Amino acid sequence: MMKSLLRCTAILLSLAFTEPSLAKAPLRAEFQCASLEESLVLTCRVKLLRGQQGWSGAKLRVSADMPSMPMVHRIKPVMADALGDEAGLYRFKLQLDMRGRWLIRLDVLEPERAVLTEVMNLP
Ligand SMILES: [Cu+2]
């Protein structure tokens, strides 16, 4: 049933624009996404990490765009939900409107601002 299981544990660079402190470990996110057969709904878990520590309590907004088709898609942003069973674990569901290569954008809104991105292929 889970036809396309997209796994990604890439280390993402935080495009942080508020934290000048070099003492802080970088923020990163590990995505695990899946879509049901024929479906354009991408269901993801994301683990937010500060160094090796799961980072809980963040407010996360998720959106997506196709790098190859800028301004064409209008994907409704969603807020991620915290999954209480593990520190730093969140989940979200994105309704996409096309197969192909998507750039998932994670906006960390609280307690500090950062942007994390990940490329996902919806085959
Ligand atoms: Cu497109």
**Token pair for residue 33?**
């996404």
Domain total in the chain: 1
Distance 83 CA to ligand 1 centre (A): 30
Q: In terms of residue numbers, what domain contains 82?
A: 4-122
Q: What are the residues whose beta carbon lies below 5 Å from ligand 1 (ion)?
A: 66, 69, 98
For the stretch 42-56, pLDDT in tens is 999 999 999 999 999
CATH code: domain of residue 88: 2.60.40.1930
Distance 69 CA to ligand 1 centre (A): 5
Q: b vs e for 44-65, b when ≥16 Cβ sit within 10 Å of the residue's Cβ?
A: bbbbbbeeeeebeebebebbbb
Q: How far apart are CA 93 and CA 71, in angstroms?
A: 21
Distance 38 CA to ligand 1 centre (A): 16
Residue with the bigger pLDDT between 116 and 23: it is 116
pLDDT of residue 1: 44
Answer yes or no: are the C-beta atoms of 58 and 48 closer than 8 Å: yes
Beginning with the edge strand found earlier in the chain, give each strand of the sheet holding 100-110 in spatial order. 78-79, 59-65, 100-110, 114-122
pLDDT of residue 6: 53
Q: How far apart are CA 38 and CA 57, in angstroms?
A: 34
Distance 79 CA to ligand 1 centre (A): 22
Which residue stretches of 25-86 are H helix?
none
Residue with the bigger pLDDT between 105 and 6: it is 105
Q: With a threshold of 0.85, does the pTM exceed it?
A: no
Q: How far apart are CA 8 and CA 32, in angstroms?
A: 6
